[in-house]
Chain A
């Protein structure tokens, strides 16, 4: 049931809104994963980031796409939790001071052939400014070293719906997907490669300042 609700939500609401109210310029679409398991890594400026990334894929891929999101924020009340889990299809992640392996659910999802969407900045933060990536993504890549990691740079959604605002103002957004890469054996090198990739992707666009 919620599976059909999810598809209907994306087909009837998300896609038309993204197409007309926002508008996407997508580059490097051919780099996006066609099958799972895969990890998509993106910068984070807005709640719209998740919806935009999900809308890049055909509707039939929707059940396999799992945005990873903070449990403390998205499971904080019942209505939001239902929406996040059933309609957006998030995999909740416990932040800070967790026992055992906090990535166990993510690893299990990759083993099921799912495509994870990760925002290693950890929070939407200041709109249209990149923050440092947290290292959790490297630990996940180390645990599943064969899984391709797809870097995606997003620009413009922080202008449309920044953190702290509930009013959507139409702006086109740019999505630039880069070639996938894999775990190379060391966490600092992995983080550096990811950082270089993101900077390179950001450099492909002509983005004007917004402050």
Chain B
């Protein structure tokens, strides 16, 4: 069954399930608060409140229409890139080059919207990558050149290019499965965020052996594996409903999202630790900045998209 704009009713049902989980989380936090307020519970409460806002904004963005969805995803990439650029040391002389880097965001998302796979793949990794050093060379300041061009290119890749894969999912058309491109996007984003929460919860309950003590001391093998299994199970249930994947492939997709999400998380942790900041910003109460929230998606989105593109959209797996 299809709604007038082509949005599958399956997406709405899945969103309904997410809200049910959110209500359950709010009830649990309310009960914890009644048993005794502590700093940890009020932090948890702030987080859940922020989840209400984020899920509602995301819901509005994906159910309205594809243009609104793409603009929303582009805005998310912009906020992540801006947060990145505000944290790192930059050179005064590169101000206009930074402005050009921002202007590349709408271009990249237009390519994604038009489903131009070749341009989408080359615009930032080839064209912008070659453009930044040219612009900086012509500006004429060699002091700090390598650092400036390196950090700008890496930031553009890790935020804009990586996150733009979310918009690319929306263009999968009839290959996207029973719930359309919006179904794939919801599958990816919901499972990435679910995996974050699952890893955190398993880690809090059973965490002992640290994986990366110097980068992210709260990450444990118990949390990682618990998250991996939980995410694979949920993916196995949601997959046949939201994607063209059968149960075993959907579980594998869930596992891929969990592992890549973990690496996104620790990569951004390493970046923040290098700069000596705990949170990347203060945009989302209880969570930190936007980079803190989309860190897992930064790895999960390109890995999931390209796995889907290579194996599923091409018909290699059906």
Given A167-B99, A170-B102, decide whether A208 and B275 contact each other with a Cβ distance below 8 A: yes
Q: What's the Cα separation between A170 and B88 when bound, in Å?
A: 14
- Give Cα A159 to B85, complex, Å: 11
- For residue A76, CB closer than 8 A to chain B, the reply is no
CB distance from A31 to the nearest CB of B (A): 16
Which of chain A's residues 1-44 have a Cβ closer than 8 Å to chain B?
Answer: 20, 23, 25-27
Q: CA separation between A26 and B281, bound complex, in Å? A: 10
Q: Is B82 within 8 A of A159, CB to CB?
A: no
**In the complex, are the beta carbons of B92 and A25 less than 8 A apart?**
no
Question: Within 8 Å CB of A27, what residues of B?
Answer: 282
Query: What residue in chain A is nearest B87 (Cβ atoms)?
Result: A208
For the complex, count residues of A whose C-beta is within 8 A of B.
Answer: 21
Tell me if A25 and B85 are in contact (CB < 8 A).
no
Residues of B within 8 Å of A, CB-based: how many?
24
Q: Does A77 make an interface contact (CB < 8 A)?
A: no
A165: CB under 8 A from chain B? yes
Q: Which residues of A contact B82 (CB under 8 A)?
A: 23, 170-172
Q: Nearest Cβ distance between residue B200 and chain A, in whole angstroms?
A: 24
| Chain A nearest Cβ from B89, distance in angstroms | 4
**Contact yes or no, A206 B276, CB < 8 A:** yes
A107–B89 alpha-carbon span in the complex (Å): 41
Question: By the criterion CB–CB under 8 Å, are A171 and B96 in contact?
Answer: no
State in angstroms the CA–CA spacing of A144 and B308 once bound together.
Answer: 69
Complex interface: chain B residues within 8 A of A92 (CB): none
Within 8 A of A (CB), among B74-95: 75, 78-79, 82-83, 85-92, 95
Residues of B within 8 Å of A169, CB to CB, are 95-96, 98-99, 102
Complex Cα–Cα for A165 and B93 (A): 12
Are A167 and B86 in touch, CB under 8 angstroms?
no
Chain A residues at the B interface, C-beta cutoff of 8 Å: 20, 23, 25-27, 127, 156, 159, 162, 165, 167, 169-173, 206, 208-211
Write 20 A-B pairs (CB below 8 A) sorted by A numbering.
Answer: A20-B75, A23-B79, A23-B83, A26-B282, A27-B282, A159-B86, A167-B95, A167-B99, A169-B99, A170-B78, A170-B102, A171-B82, A171-B85, A171-B86, A172-B82, A172-B83, A208-B88, A209-B89, A210-B91, A211-B91
